[in-house]
Amino acid sequence: MHEELTVIKYHYVRPIGDSRYPGLKGLEVSLFEKQLQYLRKHHAVVSVGDVVGATGGKRRLPGKAALLTFDDGYSDHFNFVFPLLRKYGMAGAFYVPFGPIAENKVMGINKIHFIRGAGVPMGSLLREVFAAMRGLSAKYAFRPETYYREKYGSAGRFDDAQTMLVKRLLQFALPAAARREILDRLFAKYVGVAESAFSRELYLTFEQIACMRDDGMHIGSHGYEHAWLNTLSRDRQRKQIDRSVGWLVRLKVPRPWSFCYPHGGFNATTLSLVRERGFKLGFGVQPGIADLDRDDTMVLPRLDTNDLQSTIRRAAG
């Protein structure tokens, strides 16, 4: 038997073209609504509870089951996604990194998105990063520029090689303190909004999360600081996971709980820790359609909203 489940992941869903950040890569609200109309016609949108119920083999999922997941705890999800899900009577699963909200910080990955969203070409951004590294070479132990270009300069699934190189340098390739210093400098220059104010505008508030929870939306863990868990020691992984669990408890999030690994990063330690904490489902970023009879339910693959958008375009011919 095959128990197929199409899990779709979303990040930004907002009006982008007319906004302050027209270069932001995300999904326009109008296209999101079209996706919901498509899903209503061709799939049965299910909840995390439905999926967990089907993992024990007692209940089956409806044919063409789809689960909608929303990463990173953006205020977009309350402002634009939540009302449309209610309109179509669909459930959603929202994966929140609690740290940036609790501490009014902005995640490094989001700083990169909005610097790019402000219209800075990737080529000039890359030159600025290397120039900043030269300026800071007395303070940090950097490797030669060619090393980084060779090791990290390959294209990703949705980003070209230059973009991926900038992202990798600022997300993990450079020493942590240097990454922060360079990124903060670029963020101040191109976005120019104080981090705490920007954080409040970008992410959900705890009140909004509670409101969505009360309306039957699933709230899941996306770690605490949105760290690459597979790069951390067992002890530091445990801290990240347990701090997120603390927020699930504080926010009275009903079980079953689910976990979405930040950046798709996990290892055997991560899996044993989240199982111990009682999480029932886990999501990475490897692309594909899940099969509950075949896949490890703690590492389910997902499709990106871009993949669904391509399917819809093809169907429209």
Identify which of residues 130 and 247 has a Cβ nearer to Zn ion in the complex. Answer: 247
Strands (E), 17-142: 44-45, 65-71, 93-96
Handedness of CA 148, 150, 156, 158 (dihedral sign): positive
Q: Which of 316, 272, 315 is nearest to 296 (CA)?
A: 272
Taking the complex as a whole, the smallest distance from the CB of residue 256 to Zn ion amounts, in Å, to 21
- Could you say whether residue 71 binds Zn ion (CB under 5 A)? yes
Taking the complex as a whole, the smallest distance from the CB of residue 72 to Zn ion amounts, in Å, to 4
Identify which of residues 9 and 43 has a Cβ nearer to Zn ion in the complex. Answer: 9
Identify which of residues 39 and 96 has a Cβ nearer to Zn ion in the complex. Answer: 96
Distance CA 304, CA 167 (A): 19
Taking the complex as a whole, the smallest distance from the CB of residue 225 to Zn ion amounts, in Å, to 11
Taking the complex as a whole, the smallest distance from the CB of residue 168 to Zn ion amounts, in Å, to 16
Which ranges of 144-300 would DSSP assign to H, the alpha helix?
A: 145-152, 161-168, 176-190, 195-202, 206-214, 234-250, 268-276
Interaction residues for Zn ion, span 12-51 (CB under 5 A): none
Identify which of residues 147 and 158 has a Cβ nearer to Zn ion in the complex. Answer: 158
* Neighbour tally for 158: CB within 10 Å: 11
The 3-state DSSP class for residue 145 equals helix
Taking the complex as a whole, the smallest distance from the CB of residue 94 to Zn ion amounts, in Å, to 11
Strands (E), 83-160: 93-96
Distance CA 293, CA 308 (A): 23
Identify which of residues 130 and 257 has a Cβ nearer to Zn ion in the complex. Answer: 257
Q: Which of 271, 312, 282 is nearest to 67 (CA)?
A: 282
Identify which of residues 72 and 307 has a Cβ nearer to Zn ion in the complex. Answer: 72
Number of residues that bind Zn ion (CB under 5 A): 3
The stretch near Zn ion (CB under 5 A) out of 71-79, 126-134, 136-144, 274-282 is 71-79
Q: To which residue do tokens 């997300």 refer?
A: 171
Identify which of residues 71 and 128 has a Cβ nearer to Zn ion in the complex. Answer: 71
Tokens representing 211? 């409101």
Q: To which residue do tokens 């789809």 refer?
A: 66
Q: To which residue do tokens 């790019």 refer?
A: 116
The stretch near Zn ion (CB under 5 A) out of 63-71, 200-208, 229-237, 247-255 is 63-71
Taking the complex as a whole, the smallest distance from the CB of residue 37 to Zn ion amounts, in Å, to 26
Site string for Zn ion, 250-269 (x = CB under 5 A): ------------x-------
Chain residues binding Zn ion by CB under 5 A are 71-72, 262
